[in-house]
A and B are shown apart, each in its own frame.
Chain A
Amino acid sequence: MDAWVVVLIVVVVVLFVLYLSQTAARLDRLHHRVDTSLATLQAQFMDRANEVLSLASSGRLDPSTSVLLADAADNALAQARASEAEFTLARCSAESALTSALEATFTDPQVVDELMEQPDGQRIVNDLTATIQKAAWSRRFHNDAVRATVAVRQQRLVRLLRLAGSATLPHTVELDDEVPPALRTR
């Protein structure tokens, strides 16, 4: 009888340890996903600001639009450099401001039509749209990764046994990154 109790305890302990190791592996994977998506997010928003800056300095748009866009893009880049790997509040505001500047520029379809008519214009419009779209998508993908990670980390057992180790709790990045109306595909 006693032997059976011992066997039962051993089985339960083994299953429990198995579960813990699976959960630790799962968390490890999730943290890695968050690191990757954050690195991508950094790169895509830098790309977006650089793309806008080069369009603004290309002379393809009128001077006032160019200055408006260059200023917003420059500010976003400065905030990106200042905040390094973090999406600080200041950086998020600067990126949202860049989005507003883009929206102010590319709400009138005529602006896009005129850009398209210039030599190589189609490629430039396509590249700009793709960069803006990719930045917006990478933020969704990052926030998705964060939500999945936080959900696991909030489980009682995970918190109690500190299965996440020393990894910091990730947080979602909230800013406005809508593709401007005149650049949307459909």
Chain B
Amino acid sequence: MKVGIVCPYDWTSPGGVKAHVHDLAVTLRRFGHDVSVLAPVDDPEYPLEPFVVDGGKPVSVPYNGSVAKVNFGPVSAARVRRWIKEGDFDVLHVHEPASPTLSVLACWAARGPMVATWHSSQQRSRALSAAYYLMQTAMEKISARIAVSEAARQTLVKHLGGDAVLVPNGVVCSDYEGATPLPGYPRQDPTLFFIGRIDEPRKGLHVLLAALPRIAAAHPGVEVLVAGPGDQEQATEDLAPDLRDRVRFLGLVTDADKISAFASADVYVAPNTGGESFGIVLLESMAAGTPVVASNLEAFASVLDGGRTGELFVSEDPDSLADTVIDLLADSQRRETLVPIGHERARQFDWEVVAGEIEQVYESVTATGEKVENDMRGQFVGRLARPNREDV
């Protein structure tokens, strides 16, 4: 099958949606499909994979309360149309289509079998309501809608109506299984691991650090490994000086170091306080064989199967976190039983399985054998604005 995938965010900087599109494309190619990915490219030096097509340099603009790097305008639209024309796709798969990116341009420009995946569960801006008619017209062409989580599905239902099928995020289990720990690990004393921006309150590092005095009292040798960018001094300024060196900052880590850090820890702690629509990082930890302690956000509880495949504590409650971590560190038997349970859970979300389900969605929309082509109807306003268009 010839599959065209649109990634809305910069291909050359790390991100959840980009990683999802990358792993999906790689797995589908392994299944034998012919995959082309259209993505914004900010860094021209970045070595693009052979299946990636440059969708143009994204522009930084204020959007939805922060600065977003997006592609828009007639030049991007022309690139999208040309890619669709040359790709001759059996199915077009756009990601996060309800945002001002290449994705919505692709919805706008194409007709035929189209699949869309909603990733985020964030509230949508007022701008979307203002452009509702235009967005609705583009969204209506999508033949199959996928949400990566229940939270993302509800956002979609609330803002657009209709329904979506649930196909979760995937994890490449083989990357994590049997990983080598960082030098000097595992230690004699227990090690906890946290990953995420350290100055982003919703990642919840402050909850973990608030629980540290009690954890350190029960397990004096404990160390907290922290991976992620942000101001390290500010993060620990509320801690007693003797506890500060219980925290080891790794800074922004490479994928390889992240995997090693999972393998170095006895317990992975996810103290996030909100804004998570899925818990891919929990699956990564379980794939690496590291038991998980996570806040009881809906998304986390669902990945941990209500506490069967990992421990849950009351979100934003340092005492609850401390109790849970202290108990789990003291109970080596429980940790050992969690390893195979976690492995099995992560396997259910392996990209082999997830991409197989996405393949089934593709088959559900391509049964009539129609191809993806440029949609000429209702486009003349955009086309008049660009007389020397590239696609004719």
The answer to whether A and B assemble together is yes
Report A's interface with B, CB cutoff 8 A. Answer: 22, 25-26, 28-30, 33, 36-37, 39-40, 43-44, 130, 133-134, 137-138, 140-141, 143-145, 147-148, 151, 185-186
Q: What 0/1 pattern do residues 353 to 392 of B give for CB contact below 8 A with A?
A: 1001100110111011010000101100000000000000
| Contact between chains at A137 and B368 (CB < 8 Å) | no
Chain B residues positioned under 8 Å from A134 (CB to CB): 360, 363-364
Question: Is the Cβ of A148 less than 8 Å from the Cβ of B162?
Answer: yes
CB-CB under 8 A from B137, the residues of chain A are 22, 26
Q: How far is the CA of A143 from the CA of B348 in the complex (A)?
A: 28
**Docked complex: B70-109 residues within 8 A CB-CB of A:** none
Residues of A within 8 A of B356 (CB): 130
- Among the listed A26, A28, A30, A40, which residue makes an inter-chain contact with B365, where contact means beta carbons less than 8 Å apart? A40
B163 near A40 with CB under 8 A, answer no
Q: Are B143 and A33 in contact (CB under 8 A)?
A: yes
CB atoms of A29 and B365 under 8 A apart: no
23 cross-chain CB contacts under 8 A = A22-B137, A22-B378, A25-B377, A25-B378, A26-B140, A28-B377, A29-B140, A29-B375, A33-B143, A36-B113, A36-B365, A36-B370, A37-B143, A40-B365, A130-B356, A133-B357, A133-B360, A134-B363, A137-B364, A140-B163, A144-B163, A147-B161, A186-B348
Q: For A28, what are the chain B residues with a Cβ–Cβ distance below 8 Å?
A: 377
Q: Does B119 contact A (CB under 8 A)?
A: no
The distance in angstroms between the C-alpha atoms of A24 and B117, with both chains bound, is 27
Which residues of the other chain, B, contact A140 by a CB distance below 8 angstroms? 163-165
- Complex: how many Å from CA A185 to CA B354? 10
Q: Could you tell me the distance in whole angstroms from the C-beta of B100 to the nearest C-beta in chain A? A: 21
Residues of A within 8 A of B360 (CB): 130, 133-134, 137
Q: How far is it, in angstroms, between the C-alpha of A133 and the C-alpha of B361 when the chains are bound?
A: 9
Decide: A40 and B161 in contact? CB cutoff 8 A: no
Q: Is the CB of A29 within 8 A of B165?
A: no
- Bound complex: CA of A151 vs CA of B360, how far in Å? 28
B140 contact from A37, A39, A148, Cβ within 8 A: A148
The reply to whether B143 and A44 form a contact with Cβ atoms under 8 Å apart is no
Q: Is the CB of B353 within 8 A of A185?
A: yes
What 13 additional pairs, Cβ within 8 angstroms, besides A22-B378, A36-B365? A22-B137, A29-B111, A33-B141, A36-B368, A40-B364, A40-B368, A130-B360, A133-B357, A133-B360, A141-B364, A147-B162, A151-B161, A186-B349
Q: Is the CB of A144 within 8 A of B145?
A: yes
Quote the shortest CB–CB distance from B351 to chain A (angstroms).
13
**B182 interface contact, C-beta 8 A:** no
Number of A-B residue pairs at CB separation under 8 A:
73
Which 9 A-B residue pairings sit nearest by Cβ, starting from the closest? A186-B348, A40-B367, A25-B377, A144-B162, A138-B364, A141-B144, A25-B378, A43-B367, A137-B364
- Chain A at the B interface: SS class: helix
Give A110 to B365 CA distance when docked, in angstroms.
33
> Measured between alpha carbons, how far is A25 from B357 in the docked complex, in Å?
32
- Bound-state Cα–Cα, A40 to B370, Å: 12
Q: A39-B367, A40-B365, A147-B161 are in contact. Are A29 and B377 (CB under 8 A)?
A: yes
Kindly state the separation between the CA atoms of A25 and B365 in the bound complex, as whole angstroms.
21
In the complex, how many angstroms separate the beta carbon of B15 from the nearest chain A beta carbon?
Answer: 25
Are B367 and A44 in contact, with the CB atoms below 8 A? yes
- Most B CB contacts (10 A, CB to CB) among A22, A29, A141 go to A141
Q: Inside 8 A of A39's CB, which chain B residues have their CB?
A: 367-368
Distance in Å from the Cβ of A139 to the closest Cβ of chain B? Answer: 10
A76–B368 Cα distance when bound, in Å, is 22
A58 vs B284: C-alpha distance in the bound complex, in angstroms? 40
Residue of B nearest to A21 (CB): B378
Given contacts A36-B370, A143-B163, contact A44 B364 (CB under 8 A): yes
Residues of A within 8 A of B348 (CB): 185-186
Q: Which residues of B contact A25 (CB under 8 A)?
A: 377-378
Known: A29-B111, A186-B348, A186-B349. A137 touches B361 (CB 8 A): yes
The answer to whether A36 and B377 have CB atoms under 8 Å apart is no
Q: Which of B268-310 contact A (CB under 8 A)?
A: none
Q: Which residues of A contact B363 (CB under 8 A)?
A: 134
Chain B, residue nearest A36 (CB): B368
The interface centre, meaning the residue of A28, A133, A143 with most chain B CB atoms within 10 A of its CB, is A133
Specify which chain A residues have a CB less than 8 angstroms from the CB of B365 in the assembled complex: 36-37, 40, 141
Assembled-state Cα–Cα distance A97/B119 (Å): 35
- The distance in angstroms between the C-alpha atoms of A185 and B356, with both chains bound, is 11
Please give, as numbers and ranges, the residues of chain B lying within 8 Å of A148 by CB-CB distance. Answer: 140, 161-162
A78 to B228, CA, bound (A): 61
Of A22, A28, A37, A137, the most chain B CB neighbours within 10 A belong to: A137
Interface-central residue, B137, B140, B363, by most chain A CB under 10 Å: B140
Query: In the complex the two chains form, what is the Cα distance from A138 to B353 in whole Å?
Result: 19
In the complex, which of the residues B144, B161, B162 contacts A137, with contact meaning CB atoms closer than 8 Å? B144
